[in-house]
C-alpha cells in the first residue's frame, strides 16, 4: 500500500508542476491528492503501510499507558490521531497566511503602498534599478515576495515604457523579492513554515540570512549596472485613473499594518504563543481601525475598505493549495517514508549542505512549498534542533532557488502573468544571473558558518 500512496503523491506532484500545460488548477490537484492518500492509508493495515514498526508501536504504548490494560487501539484510531496532529500544525500556517494576506489587502485598498512608490521619480535607468531593488528587497521582507512583486511590477509598468529595459527590471524584481523574502519569517511562505514548525527562530534567521540574501540580490544587480544600456523611454508622470480612488487613511494603514507585521515575532518571544495568534491579534486591531476610519461612509461602499471586504479579495485558492499539499506530505510523514528517504540521501550523498543546495535548485522546477514540507519531515528536530545550519540553509535555498526559472516562485509566476514575460526570454536573459546570485548567497552563508560570523 505504501507504494500505491507514494505513486498517487508522485502523480499529484507531477500534475501540480505542469498545471499550466494540463490546464487544471494546482489547488484542485493538491486537495484530491491529500484526500486520496489519507483514504488509502486508513483503508490499509499497519503491515501494508509499513507502520508496524517504531511509529505505530509508540502510539500503542502511549494508549496503554493512558488506558491501563485496555485493548490495543484500532489502526484507524492511529490514522485519525495522525491526521488531527498534521491538521493542527497546518492550520497554524494557514491562519497566519490568511491574517497576513488580509492586512496587506487592507493597506492596498487604502492606497498605502502608493506612499512608497510615488516617491520614486528618477529617470536614470541604473539609479532606478538600484532604488527598485532595494525597495523590493526590504518590502518583501516585511510583507511577502508575491505581494511585493505585484506592487513593484505595477510601478515599473508606469515608469519604464521601454519594454526591453522593463523586462530586465522585472527579472531583478523577481530576484530581489525572493532574496528579500528569505531572511525574515514572514517574507516567504517556506520560511514561515519553518518558523511556525519550530525549525528556526525569528531573530536567528534574520541575523544568519540577511548577508547571504543581500549577496543574492547584489551580485546580479552590480553586473547589470555595468551592462545595462538604453533609456526608460517616455513616461507620463501620472497614469489615467490613478486618482480615481481618493479614500483617506493610506499613511495610517501603512504604518499600522507594517508595524503589526514587524511586531508578530516580538509578540511570539514575549508571550510564547504561536505566531498565528499574534497575526490574528494584529488583524483584529486593524479590522477595528478600518471600521472606525470611515464612520460616515455608506455601508456598501465602506465594506470595500474594511477587513470584511479584504477577506473577500485574498487568494483563497493558494491557502487551500497549502492545505492540500501539506496534508499530502503529512501522510508520507506518518508512514515514515520521508524519514527513510532522508536516510537514503545521507547514505548516498552524505553532506547535508549538498542535499539542501540541490533542493534549492529543484525548487526552481517544483513548487518549494511541498519540497520544504517534505524536507521538514525528513529531518527530525531531535537530531537537527531549532536554528541548526540545515534549517537556516534550507530557508535560504528554498526561498531564493525559485528565481532560477520564472515558474519557480510565486513572484515569478505573478510577474509572468502581469507582464506576459516569455519563459524562454527569462531562461536566456535572467536564469543564469539568478543562478549566479543563488550560488553567491550560498557561498556567503557557508563562509559565515566556517568563520563563525
Return the pLDDT at 342.
Answer: 66
Return the pLDDT at 221.
Answer: 94
Return the pLDDT at 241.
Answer: 40
Return the pLDDT at 67.
Answer: 60
Q: What is the DSSP letter of 74?
A: P
Q: What is the DSSP letter of 248?
A: S
HSE at residue 367, side-chain half, CA atoms within 13 A, is: 24
Q: Count CB neighbours of 21 within 10 A.
A: 8
CB-based contacts of 57, cutoff 8 Å, min separation 6: none
- Which domain range does residue 258 map to? 2-451
d(CA 391, CA 369): 14
Q: What is the pLDDT along the chain (453 residues), one digit of tens a residue?
A: 778 888 998 898 788 777 777 888 888 998 999 999 999 888 876 655 555 444 555 555 555 555 655 555 667 777 888 888 889 888 888 888 888 888 888 888 888 878 877 777 777 888 889 999 999 999 999 888 888 888 888 888 878 888 888 899 999 999 999 999 999 988 888 898 899 888 999 899 999 999 999 999 999 999 998 887 767 766 544 443 444 455 677 888 888 988 888 888 888 888 888 888 998 999 999 999 888 887 777 777 777 888 888 888 888 888 888 888 888 888 887 887 766 776 777 777 778 889 899 888 888 877 677 778 888 877 888 888 988 999 999 999 999 998 998 877 878 877 877 787 888 888 899 999 999 999 999 999 999 988 876
C-alpha cell read off for 281: 491579534
Report CA-CA distances (Å) from 279 to 55, 291, 333: 34, 18, 28
How many structural domains is the chain composed of?
1
Pick the closest to residue 323 from 87, 39, 85 (CA basis).
87
CB-based contacts of 193, cutoff 8 Å, min separation 6: 93, 369, 372, 373, 376
Return the pLDDT at 265.
Answer: 84
Supply the pTM of this predicted model: 0.76
414 neighbors 178 (Cβ within 8 angstroms):
no
CA 201 to chain centre: 16
155 neighbors 132 (Cβ within 8 angstroms):
yes
d(CA 257, CA 382): 36
d(CA 49, CA 82): 14
Amino acid at each position: 500500500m505504501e507504494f500505491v500512496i507514494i505513486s498517487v503523491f508522485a502523480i499529484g506532484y507531477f500534475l501540480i508542476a505542469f498545471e499550466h500545460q494540463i490546464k487544471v488548477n494546482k489547488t484542485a490537484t493538491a486537495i484530491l491528492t491529500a484526500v486520496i492518500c489519507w483514504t488509502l492509508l486508513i483503508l490499509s493495515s499497519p503491515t501494508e503501510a509499513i507502520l508496524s514498526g517504531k511509529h505505530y508501536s509508540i502510539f500503542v504504548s502511549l494508549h496503554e499507558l493512558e488506558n491501563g490494560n485496555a485493548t490495543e487501539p484500532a489502526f484507524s484510531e492511529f490514522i485519525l490521531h495522525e491526521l488531527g496532529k498534521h491538521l493542527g500544525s497546518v492550520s497554524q500556517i494557514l491562519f497566519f497566511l490568511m491574517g497576513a494576506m488580509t492586512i496587506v489587502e487592507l493597506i492596498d485598498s487604502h492606497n498605502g503602498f502608493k506612499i512608497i512608490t510615488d516617491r520614486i521619480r528618477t529617470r536614470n535607468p541604473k539609479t532606478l534599478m538600484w532604488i527598485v531593488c532595494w525597495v523590493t528587497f526590504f518590502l518583501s521582507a516585511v510583507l511577502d515576495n508575491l505581494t511585493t512583486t505585484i506592487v513593484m511590477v505595477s510601478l515599473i509598468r508606469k515608469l519604464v515604457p521601454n519594454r526591453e529595459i522593463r523586462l530586465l527590471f522585472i527579472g531583478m524584481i523577481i530576484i530581489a523579492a525572493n532574496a528579500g523574502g528569505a531572511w525574515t519569517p514572514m517574507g516567504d511562505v517556506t520560511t514561515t513554515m519553518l518558523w511556525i514548525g519550530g525549525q528556526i527562530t525569528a531573530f536567528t534567521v534574520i541575523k544568519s540570512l540577511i548577508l547571504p540574501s543581500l549577496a543574492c540580490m547584489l551580485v546580479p544587480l552590480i553586473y547589470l549596472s555595468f551592462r545595462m544600456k538604453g533609456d526608460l523611454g517616455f513616461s507620463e508622470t501620472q497614469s489615467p485613473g490613478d486618482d480615481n480612488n481618493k479614500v483617506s487613511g493610506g499613511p495610517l494603514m501603512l504604518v499600522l499594518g507594517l508595524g503589526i507585521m514587524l511586531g508578530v515575532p516580538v509578540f511570539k518571544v514575549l508571550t510564547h504563543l504561536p505566531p498565528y495568534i499574534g497575526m490574528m491579534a494584529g488583524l483584529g486591531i486593524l479590522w477595528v481601525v478600518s471600521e472606525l476610519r470611515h464612520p460616515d461612509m455608506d455601508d456598501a461602499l465602506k465594506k470595500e475598505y474594511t477587513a470584511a471586504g479584504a477577506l473577500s479579495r485574498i487568494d483563497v485558492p493558494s491557502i487551500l493549495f497549502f492545505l492540500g499539499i501539506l496534508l499530502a506530505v503529512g501522510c508520507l510523514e506518518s508512514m515514515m517514508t520521508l524519514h527513510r528517504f532522508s536516510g537514503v540521501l545521507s547514505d548516498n550523498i552524505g553532506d547535508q549542505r549538498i542535499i539542501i543546495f540541490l533542493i534549492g535548485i529543484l525548487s526552481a522546477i517544483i513548487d518549494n512549498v511541498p519540497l520544504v514540507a517534505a524536507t521538514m519531515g525528513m529531518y527530525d528536530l531531535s537530531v537537527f534542533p531549532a536554528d541548526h545550519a540545515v534549517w537556516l540553509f534550507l530557508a535560504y535555498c528554498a526561498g531564493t532557488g525559485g528565481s532560477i526559472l520564472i515558474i519557480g516562485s510565486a513572484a515569478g509566476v505573478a510577474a509572468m502573468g502581469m507582464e506576459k514575460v516569455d519563459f524562454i526570454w527569462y531562461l536566456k536573459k535572467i536564469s543564469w544571473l539568478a543562478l549566479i546570485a543563488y550560488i553567491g548567497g550560498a557561498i556567503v552563508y557557508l563562509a559565515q558558518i566556517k568563520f563563525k560570523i
